[in-house]
Structure formats: C-alpha cells, structure tokens
Amino acid sequence: MKEPILQIKNITKDFPGVRALNNVSLELYEGEVLCIVGENGAGKSTLIKCLSGVYIPESGEIILDGTPMHFKKPEDSIKAGFSVVYQEHKLILNLTVAENIFFGRFPLLPGGFIDYKKLNSDAKNILNQFDMDINPKKLVSTLNSSQSQMVEIAKAYSRGARIMILDEPSASITESELKKLFEIINALKKEGKSFIYISHRLVELFEIGDRVYVFKDGNNAGNDEIKNVTIDRLIAMMIGRELGKSFKAKDRPIGEELLRVENLSNKLVTDCSFNVREGEIVGFAGLVGSGRSEMIESLFGYKRKTSGKVFINGKEVHIKNPRDAINHGLGFVTEDRKTTGVILNQSVALNITFAILDKISKFGLINFKKDNALVKKSIEQLSIKTPSPKQETIFLSGGNQQKVILSKWLLTNSKILICDEPTKGIDVGTKQEFYTILDSLARQGKAIIVISSELPEVIGLSNRVYVMRHGKIVTELNENELTEERIATFSMKY
C-alpha cells in the first residue's frame, strides 16, 4: 500500500457551546478524489478551515508527506500546497483573469512595472492546458460562476497546489459545466494532484469520486470506496436512518387559475407567459442565466418590467414594488440567502416576523406577545435549529437560514409562493423537509412556483414545468412529459 500524501489524525475543534469536529481522522492519497459528505453542520467546512489555516484545531495532527504541519494562517497552508476553492469565490472582481491567476506573483519588467504581455500569455497557456475557454484579459466580474471556478482552479494550479479542496463546486453551475469541471479534475488527477471534494449532490460523487468519508455531527461516520456504496447507504450514514421517499405523489387537487402572466418582458427576458393554478406546483427549469430569476423578480416588483400584464384570480393587478406584490398575496423565497434572504446581523425573531409587522402592530407599536408567539410557533413548525430566537441569524447553518426565510413568507399567508432555488446548498434531510412542506402548502390550495437547477427536484415536485432559455420560455412540459433528458434538451437547444 502507498503512503498517503496527507494524514489527518484525531483532529478536534471546539466552538463556544459545540464541538464542531470530534477526533476526526482521514487519509488522502496522491492522484485521488476524496469525497466528504454530511449534513449541514456535520463539520465539513470546519475541517476545510483547519486545513486551510483559518482555524487552529484544539488537538490532533495534520501530517503532510510524513511531516506534521502547524498552520497558523492561510499563507502557511498555501505554501504547503493546499488550495481551497470555496463556494463563494474569492477572486478579486475588478481585476482581469490573468491578474487573478498570478496575483502576488506578477512577472515584472525592469523598473518594477508589470509585464502584461508575459502575464497574459502565461495565463493563456495555463487556461489552454485544461481547455478552459476564457479570455485572460477579461474582468473577473464579467465571468459566470463556472468560469470563475475554473479561474480559481487555474490559479491554484499555477501556484503549484498539490491538494485542491473543492467546497460545493456544483452548487451554482449547470450540468454541462459540471461535466467540464470533471474533465479538468481528471486531467489534474493524471498530473498527480489530489482532491478533497465536498458536495450535497450525491449522484455526482459516483462520477468523480474514488473514496468517500461520511461526517455526522462532527464525527467520522464511516468511509469506503465509492464503488462499494450506494446513494441510499450514504444517506443512511449521513442522517443516521434510512430516508423515506423524497417526493410525494402528485395527487393534489387542482383548483382555479390563481396567477396568469402575459408577455412579461424586462431587460433580460422577453414575452414570458405562464399560469399557475391552486394546488399546483409549477417548476421553472433552464440553465443558470436563462432568465428565470430575472423574470420572477420582475413579477414580484423587485426589478422593473418593461411590459406585460399580471392577473391574479382573473383580475389584472399592477405590481410596482414588492409591497404591492405582498398585498396581492405573493411571497418570494429568494435565491441568495445572504443578499436578499435574511438580515444576517439581526435576530432570528426579527427576520421571521419581518414581513408581517403590519399585522402584529397597532398604531405602529408591536404587540410583543403576538410577535413572540408567532416566532416560537414558526421555529417549532419548521424545526429551525437555533439556541434562542434572539440569536443573530448569521450563526445559523445555511439550511436553517433558509427555513427562516421560508417561515417569514409562510407567515404572510401568501396565496402564491415563489421559491427560487429553495434547496441550494442544503443537506438531504432538510431538502426532504422542504419538499414535504411545499407539497402540503399546495394541498392547502396555494399556488407554488419553484425555480430549480436540480432536475430531479423540479421533476419530483412539479405538476408542470416551463423551460427557459435565453430569456424566453421555450416550452411547457406536462407531468407525463417530465424527464431529465427532455428538460435538458429544451434548456440547451431548441
């Protein structure tokens, strides 16, 4: 048996009140892709941060090539050959691709000026080597998620990283972009690079992974060769029980048409028409950037629309801002938790009742009894894990933050609930809870719109699916027409 390139021995990391990692050990061999899975809060991110020098573990050893390492700051970790590609990319947006790749190591001309010719051609070489079709002179701010991810990988490669840690690399890229990413990973594997790959999307692990470690509540819950495990087995290890069926049967009673949108256009989408009926879950599929979110944002009055009509219960309504939308019974669980979902530096309680303060106050004074009762009920109803309602929302895990957003919109009693990527970056257990909630809301007669890039999710939930491409709705698929192939075909070529 080969010697492992990296050995982690009995690492323990404590935070006030919780043990985030408990005696975790693992080995990584040269040229392998090691997957780590686990629910939110299982300790995956903490482990990465210990490896990248952001956290210093209380005890345990990190042994690289037989030498114990003591990372005090991220620089130490980078020097040792680690490189982390985070979910939120850490590139400098107002610099070019080439400048980012060689940041801090610019080739210089005599006199200290940057040799841009060499910089750009060096960057081009690296990008070409892995078939990354990106212009090195482009500003990073103009790239999409997948491209910035590639730039991060190119940057790590150029710095001579031996161990690349990918944190949720598939969270915000499309299927075809993921294929591309896998090609790059495989090419790098051949050069002897090792990967730690973290993802909530279990299916893809079987395509790219060699071995898998399962984390649960900061502990190692087992590890095995990928070829020896099944998805069900992984899920059972992660949540400590077998997961039931993900999606409920779509035998929901369908009622009258609640929402009809005619020829909605804005800067990015043109002539979108669709409708949703009571008790229906309607999906919107399409590639990232196909205009799904932009269209919905215009419907909700968040972004300006240039033309189009909206009818609710058959009557035309004019929605100029989110307030109008809420008054007409719309709710909007937005895609990006941090920027448009929750107020991170405010309490869980404030966030939960934030959209219904009108209802629980008289002459502008908040009725705290009602407020506290509603907060308590919401926390119990969605089993939001928080030490107290007063906790700042930033300290909750992603899945629980998502639940806070959902509970905010459940309280508004919206008849039409829009969910934009409702399960992005949250674990399987919580995902299933979300599916159950959405199903039961539809059963109560609400109309639900779900935008999702995860095809099994759109298919499993929706009665009908609209597929968008280049800012247009290209087709409407009925329940019996819903297959991954069909949706993928329509979203990529018409």
Q: Which residues bind other proteins (CB under 8 A)?
A: 14, 16-17, 58, 73, 300, 302, 321-323, 325-327, 332, 334, 339-346, 350, 354-355, 357-358, 361, 364-366, 368, 408
The least distance separating other proteins from the CB of residue 343, rounded to whole angstroms, comes to 4
Going 200 to 203 to 204 to 205, the CA torsion angle's sign is positive
Q: Which amino acid is at 487?
A: I
In the complex with other proteins, the residue whose CB is nearer, 51 or 405, is 405
The least distance separating other proteins from the CB of residue 73, rounded to whole angstroms, comes to 7
The least distance separating other proteins from the CB of residue 220, rounded to whole angstroms, comes to 23
Residue 69 to residue 64: CA distance in whole angstroms:
7
Q: Which amino acid is at 341?
A: G
Counting Cα atoms < 13 Å in the Cβ hemisphere of 130 gives 28
Within 16-137, strands assigned E span 18-28, 33-38, 59-64, 67-69, 82-85
Q: Could you tell me if 274 and 283 are in contact, meaning their C-beta atoms sit under 8 angstroms apart?
A: no
In the complex with other proteins, the residue whose CB is nearer, 273 or 340, is 340
Residues 6 or more apart whose CB falls under 8 angstroms from that of 229 comprise: 212
The least distance separating other proteins from the CB of residue 299, rounded to whole angstroms, comes to 13
Q: Could you tell me if 367 and 360 are in contact, meaning their C-beta atoms sit under 8 angstroms apart?
A: yes
Instruction: Please spell the DSSP secondary structure of 254-320, one letter per residue.
Output: P-SEEEEEEEEE-SS---EEEEEETT-EEEEEE-TTSSHHHHHHHHTTSS--SEEEEEETTEEE---
Of 187, 65, 54, 179, the residue nearest 129 (C-alpha): 187
In the complex with other proteins, the residue whose CB is nearer, 47 or 352, is 352
The least distance separating other proteins from the CB of residue 372, rounded to whole angstroms, comes to 13
The least distance separating other proteins from the CB of residue 171, rounded to whole angstroms, comes to 21
In the complex with other proteins, the residue whose CB is nearer, 332 or 466, is 332
In the complex with other proteins, the residue whose CB is nearer, 224 or 392, is 392
The least distance separating other proteins from the CB of residue 16, rounded to whole angstroms, comes to 5
Of 73, 114, 122, the residue nearest 97 (C-alpha): 122
Residue 474 to residue 487: CA distance in whole angstroms:
10
Going 479 to 484 to 490 to 491, the CA torsion angle's sign is positive
The least distance separating other proteins from the CB of residue 133, rounded to whole angstroms, comes to 33
In the complex with other proteins, the residue whose CB is nearer, 114 or 394, is 394
Residue 289 buriedness (CB in 10 A; 0-12 / 13-18 / 19+): middle
The least distance separating other proteins from the CB of residue 337, rounded to whole angstroms, comes to 10
Residues 6 or more apart whose CB falls under 8 angstroms from that of 18 comprise: 218
In the complex with other proteins, the residue whose CB is nearer, 401 or 432, is 401
Residues 6 or more apart whose CB falls under 8 angstroms from that of 34 comprise: 26, 28, 194, 195, 196, 197, 209, 210, 211, 212, 213
State the virtual CA torsion across 146, 147, 151, 154 in degrees, nearest 10: 70
The least distance separating other proteins from the CB of residue 88, rounded to whole angstroms, comes to 16
In the complex with other proteins, the residue whose CB is nearer, 404 or 426, is 404
In the complex with other proteins, the residue whose CB is nearer, 157 or 332, is 332
In the complex with other proteins, the residue whose CB is nearer, 59 or 478, is 59
